[in-house]
Amino acid sequence: MQRLIPVLNKDHVPLHLISVINTLLTAAKEISHRLHQGSLAGTLGSTLDENIQGETQKKLDVVSNQLIKNMLLETNLVRAVASEEEDDIVEGNPDAKYLVAYDPLDGSSNIDINGSVGTIFSILEVPDHPAEGKDMFLQTGDEQVAAGYILYGPSAMLALTTGQGVRMYTLDHTVGEFLLTVDQVKVPKDTREFAINMSNSRFWNKPIQSYIADLIQGEEGPRKKRFNMRWNAAMVSDVHRVLCRGGLFTYPADCRNKKKPCKLRLLYEANPMSYLVEQAGGRCSTGYERIMSLQPTDIHERVSVIMGSSNEVEVCLDYHKKIPCDRFDV
């Protein structure tokens, strides 16, 4: 089986970008080890702190964030990092070329029940136009030079794109390397699976309520076929399933908190996952706009997400075109 770096070299990925990716994977190996130690590592449970998102931090959220941040900045190849767990960006080498935005441990509510979690990352180049501080990160998803995630499940898996399709790698603990296991990931155009948090259904707007209601009716409904619902409460594992066998993943806006109608963050969740899904032949949207075309205004900006099998995403978008958005316009 092929190792990661020779594959990236074959794709003519710049050496410094390969080094940044490899640094992320070095941190991921340590996170994977601590997760597999579970209670033995003394890192389960929550802290007494909240992050910038207003979410209670798990101990491993803090540990994972620190590992990734320190390792990236020590390379001198990274100008700055932006993390879900940091209020502001953290600056590195002022002469470096790359910016990294990341969610250090997506789905961390699953940690204490031994469920799947993951690390999501997006890599950008420092923009040519004058920009400082947070403004450096305010680029569209189309400007990403690499994106991926590491899923910490029964095996640790990397899904990675540098704009030349999507490959998957599996961590071989015997050699300590990620080895190529899927050369070209392709998302099927059609599906009978969807992933959504149904407990929020009463707070959704009409288009998504109507779409999901028709899926649930199965053969007796207008879609004339049975759909299965899957939900892991971790974007990384729900999108991994979409990449492996198709499906539709959505986290729509809702009216529980009108100041924050959306859950997922654009820069370090929606954009990197959209890059992967689109590179694998899928489609991604807010319901009204292509996600990777959005111009960010803040590093922690939130966005509604619909992504997955292209034909099914198209059906969902038809509901948004035909049915008025009754509660908010997102």
Annotated binding-site positions for Mg(2+):
84, 103, 105-106, 269
Annotated binding-site members for substrate: 106-109, 197, 263
How far, in whole angstroms, is CA 293 from its chain's centroid?
Answer: 16
Residues 185 and 243: their CA atoms lie apart, in Å, by 7
* CA 34 – CA 76 distance, rounded (Å): 26
Dihedral sign from CA coordinates of 273, 276, 279, 281: negative
Q: What is the 3-state secondary structure (H, E, C) of 13-78?
A: CCHHHHHHHHHHHHHHHHHHHHHHHHHHHCCCCEEEEECCCCCEEEHHHHHHHHHHHHHHHHCCCE
Secondary structure class of 171 (helix, strand, coil): strand
The closest of 251, 116, 127 to 195, measured between CA atoms, is 251
Beta strands in 126-175 (DSSP E): 144-152, 156-161, 166-172
Q: Which amino acid is at 132?
A: E
CA proximity to 58, closest of 68, 67, 48:
48
User: Do the Cβ atoms of 309 and 242 come closer than 8 Å?
Assistant: yes
Bind-site residues: 84, 103, 105-109, 197, 263, 269
